[in-house]
Amino acid sequence: MEFRSAISKGDGVLMVVALVGCIHALFLSPMNCYGSHGEAISTTDRMYLESLSLQGTLTFDNTTASATDWGQLRSQLPPSGVMHPTSVDDIATVVAAVARSESELTVAARGLGSSIWGQSQAHNGIVIEMTSLKGIKVAPLGDAASNGVPFVEAMGGEMWVDVLTTSLEYGLAPRSWTDYLYLTVGGTLSNAGVSGQSFRHGPEVSNVLQLEVVTGTGEVVVCSATKSSELFFAVLGGLGQFGIIAKARIVLEVAPQRVRWIRAIYTDFATFKADQELLIGAAQPFDYVEGFVVLNNENAINGWGSVPFVRSDINAAMIPGHAGAIMYCLEVTKAYSAAALPTLDQVVESMLAPLSFHRGLLFEKDTTYFKFLDRVHEVEMELRAHGLWEIPHPWLNIFVPASSIDRFNTLVFKPIATQEFSGPILVYPVNKSKWDKRLSVAVPEGPEEIFYIVAFLRNKLPDTIGGPSLTEMLDYNESVLRICESLHCKQYLPHYEDRNKWTHHFGSKWDLFVQNKQLFDPCAILSPGLNIFTRGRHSLSSTNFLSNFANFCGGSPK
Ligand SMILES: Cc1cc2nc3c(=O)[nH]c(=O)nc-3n(C[C@H](O)[C@H](O)[C@H](O)COP(=O)(O)OP(=O)(O)OC[C@H]3O[C@@H](n4cnc5c(N)ncnc54)[C@H](O)[C@@H]3O)c2cc1C
Ligand SMILES: *[C@@H]1O[C@H](CO)[C@@H](O)[C@H](O)[C@H]1NC(C)=O
Ligand SMILES: *[C@@H]1O[C@H](CO)[C@@H](O)[C@H](O)[C@H]1NC(C)=O
Ligand SMILES: *[C@H]1O[C@H](CO)[C@@H](O)[C@H](O)[C@H]1NC(C)=O
């Protein structure tokens, strides 16, 4: 029980993100089951790769460290080799060499391996550790390069927290975020990057001015919405399938100094939903809008005890008698400057006035903009101290169309009341018009403007603490996905064992996705962990699109 109190002291929505044990050490660990390096690389390939002239390092010995990820769910063979690049040329050289090799070699860019199901791994391939390539440069307004829009240019392996720190030195900051900042620029831009700012600014992928990409043939291309735009939109949300993001230019705004951070509890879903949708509406009074499911239980990890910023600010007598087993918490922020402080209470009060949360259950806190954005890291430190950070994370993220969210509440959220649910469950709406249709990322189809981001951030607790087994959790996520099928949801950070499901996942975007693969990674060497395409001449032969590239893909090493 001790860990619960440690965890519930955390401030972040993700305060309970990690609660699990050493199951992996028993049977999921890749390290004990296989050799410490991939088996597949031939002597010819190895000699060929070793002969490349690189500034960084390429190693074939003990590559296990690059085979890990946040999920800890997949027993993954270590890659054949690992590169730590120190230049974009290093990346281009290795990618071109792999594309030309005659074997089955593949390449995966790896950020911090924050994926759940081995998406950044490459058994029988080379993992490129993107974090070894550093560089963050700010072009403030007035800088010749900025052309009226201030931006930051960061290498793909830089972490968002460092992008923020550097931008703040100029009084600037990116506008759109993820809840956690120890993720890489290239890793999140390959997915989408969503958080409570997405309703207004779109996901992170909607805030990129320009990319420098190494394509699957090893070509280095600078692209934007107006220059090589096919590649630009393919790569954003492209699951690493079309190129490696070497550099990204990200829009900046004047950084807020401080935020008022507010949580308010609702007992009724319809009211909660109506208020969330009101808040992402035209007037846009708050800067950040999220929400999460709260169990009507004091001590559960997602119980109401976890809602206030100071634990003692809530007690059982405050919970309305009519509340059911499930409640909902709205989370919003309002940015302000020191000069606005005298009128802040009044302003926030009038902004909250139209909302219908339970009046006695409102909690507020003032903090700096940096500390707010970095909130999950504080939780991370506590969980690490309890050995509850590096544990299996059978997470599931879904986009649910607004027209289905009531049924989702009935079919999925309400039954949660009966379960020990070891992690936060986020639910908040975003506007689809902020997601350019040309982006690779799959969002719910149809004309509906609003969809909900739903995240089940469950953790497999150590057996000594208890809770459901990993198998039960994975069965649970399967059952949610089955319900989702009839509700026309899309999986975010997607994973499918059955390759045929990718066609359905991308829906109307699938044909373009395949066409872009042919154009930008014709040998299908990039990010094999997604299990969408198979390397080689034959994998895509049904669409016959490798014919033009056969020489390139199968060509002998020079
Ligand atoms: C604690 C935590 C909180 C999170 N919160 C959020 C959140 O609020 N919102 C959200 O949207 N996501 C969130 N995520 C998910 C996160 O966005 C993904 O895990 C994403 O993959 C970024 O992780 P990474 O940088 O470690 O990339 P990795 O997991 O290493 O890589 C992800 C994929 O991108 C590819 N890739 C990596 N780098 C590049 C590159 N430079 N160019 C091309 N492809 C590349 C990889 O091959 C792989 O397929 C969270 C994850 C964690 C662990
Ligand atoms: C291989 O690397 C891992 C992680 O860096 C390390 O823990 C392990 O001891 C190494 N194994 C060998 C055989 O060197
Ligand atoms: C989001 O969509 C709603 C419904 O169409 C609309 O009223 C609102 O103005 C949109 N908000 C933003 C930020 O575009
Ligand atoms: C859920 O778990 C099942 C295994 O039961 C797995 O096949 C599926 O891909 C998982 N989905 C996600 C999104 O984790």
Contacts of 218 (CB under 8 A, 6+ apart): 92, 93, 94, 95, 96, 97, 99
CA dihedral over 188, 382, 20, 319, signed as positive or negative = negative
Would you say 183 and 493 are in contact if contact means Cβ atoms under 8 Å apart?
no
- Whole-number Å distance between alpha carbons of 125 and 129: 13
> What is the percent of the chain with per-residue pLDDT over 90, rounded to a whole number?
80
**Closest C-alpha to ligand 1, atom 48:** 120
- Whole-number Å distance between alpha carbons of 366 and 93: 49
In Å, what is the CA distance from 271 to each residue of 38, 403, 444? 54, 15, 23
Q: Which atom of ligand 4 is least distant from the CA of 394?
A: 14
Q: Residue 53: which of 82, 92, 80, 102 has the closest Cα?
A: 92
Topology at the third CATH level for domain 3-130+500-553: 3.30.43
- The 10s digit of each residue's pLDDT in 173-185 is 999 999 999 999 9
Average pLDDT of the chain is 89
Q: Which ligand is nearest to the CA of 64?
A: 2
Which residue, chain included where needed, has tokens 């006695």?
A: 360
Q: Residue 212: which of 87, 328, 318 has the closest Cα?
A: 87
458: Cβ below 6 Å to ligand 4? Answer: no
Residue 526 has pLDDT above 60, yes or no: yes
Calculate how far, in angstroms, residue 48's C-alpha sits from the geometric centre of ligand 2. 25
Residue 537 has pLDDT above 80, yes or no: no
Calculate how far, in angstroms, residue 175's C-alpha sits from the geometric centre of ligand 3. 18
Calculate how far, in angstroms, residue 131's C-alpha sits from the geometric centre of ligand 2. 19
531: Cβ below 6 Å to ligand 3? Answer: no
What is residue 40's predicted lDDT score, i.e. its pLDDT?
63
Ligand 4, from 481, 490, 531: best to mutate by most atoms within 8 Å of Cβ? 481
Residue 546 has pLDDT above 90, yes or no: no
Residue 327 has pLDDT above 70, yes or no: yes
**Closest C-alpha to ligand 4, atom 3:** 474
- The 10s digit of each residue's pLDDT in 474-522 is 999 999 999 999 999 999 999 998 989 999 999 999 999 999 999 999 9
Pocket lining for ligand 2, CB < 6 angstroms: 36, 62, 64-65
What is residue 550's predicted lDDT score, i.e. its pLDDT?
43
Q: Which ligand is nearest to the CA of 82?
A: 2
- The 10s digit of each residue's pLDDT in 119-133 is 999 988 999 999 999
Contacts of 167 (CB under 8 A, 6+ apart): 138, 152, 173, 174, 252, 255
Residues making up the chain, counted from first to last? 558
281: Cβ below 6 Å to ligand 3? Answer: yes
- The 10s digit of each residue's pLDDT in 372-404 is 999 999 999 999 999 999 999 999 999 999 999
- The 10s digit of each residue's pLDDT in 254-306 is 999 999 999 999 999 999 999 999 999 978 789 999 999 999 999 888 999 99
277: Cβ below 6 Å to ligand 3? Answer: no
Instruction: Outline which parts of the chain fall under CATH 3.30.465.10.
Output: 136-254
- The 10s digit of each residue's pLDDT in 432-477 is 999 999 999 999 999 999 999 999 999 999 988 888 899 999 999 9
CA dihedral over 476, 387, 377, 265, signed as positive or negative = positive
What is residue 466's predicted lDDT score, i.e. its pLDDT?
84
What is residue 552's predicted lDDT score, i.e. its pLDDT?
53
Q: Which atom of ligand 3 is least distant from the CA of 199?
A: 13
Calculate how far, in angstroms, residue 404's C-alpha sits from the geometric centre of ligand 4. 22
What is residue 418's predicted lDDT score, i.e. its pLDDT?
77
- DSSP secondary-structure letter at 214? E
Instruction: Outline which parts of the chain fall under CATH 3.30.43.10.
Output: 3-130+500-553
Instruction: Outline which parts of the chain fall under CATH 3.40.462.10.
Output: 258-492
Classify domain 258-492 at the CATH superfamily level. FAD-linked oxidases, C-terminal domain (3.40.462.10)
260: Cβ below 6 Å to ligand 4? Answer: no
Residue 33 has pLDDT above 70, yes or no: no
Calculate how far, in angstroms, residue 53's C-alpha sits from the geometric centre of ligand 2. 26
Ligand 1, from 16, 74, 84, 110: best to mutate by most atoms within 8 Å of Cβ? 110
What is residue 36's predicted lDDT score, i.e. its pLDDT?
43
Return the CATH number of the domain spanning residue range 136-254: 3.30.465.10
| Beta-strand relationship, 243-254 and 326-336 | unpaired
In Å, what is the CA distance from 134 to each residue of 55, 68, 84, 108, 137? 14, 22, 11, 18, 10
160: Cβ below 6 Å to ligand 3? Answer: no
**Closest C-alpha to ligand 3, atom 2:** 431
* Angle between helical axes of 88-100 and 43-50 (0-180°, round to 10): 150
Q: Which ligand is nearest to the CA of 451?
A: 3
474: Cβ below 6 Å to ligand 4? Answer: yes
What is residue 35's predicted lDDT score, i.e. its pLDDT?
35
Ligand 1, from 69, 76, 176, 178: best to mutate by most atoms within 8 Å of Cβ? 178
Calculate how far, in angstroms, residue 32's C-alpha sits from the geometric centre of ligand 2. 11
Would you say 78 and 40 are in contact if contact means Cβ atoms under 8 Å apart?
no
What is residue 32's predicted lDDT score, i.e. its pLDDT?
25
Residue 11 has pLDDT above 80, yes or no: no
- Whole-number Å distance between alpha carbons of 371 and 381: 14
Q: Is 126 helix (H, G, I), strand (E, B) or coil?
A: strand
**Chain CA centroid to CA 222, Å:** 24
**Closest C-alpha to ligand 1, atom 7:** 178
Burial code (b: 16+ CB inside 10 Å, e: under 16) for 55-90 equals ebebebeebbebbbbbbbbbbbbbbbbbbbbeebbb
- Whole-number Å distance between alpha carbons of 310 and 127: 43
**DSSP conformation letters of 31-97:** HHHS-SS-S---HHHHHHHHTS--SSEEE-S--GGGG--SS--S--PPBSEEEE-SSHHHHHHHHHH
Mean pLDDT along residues 142-149? 87
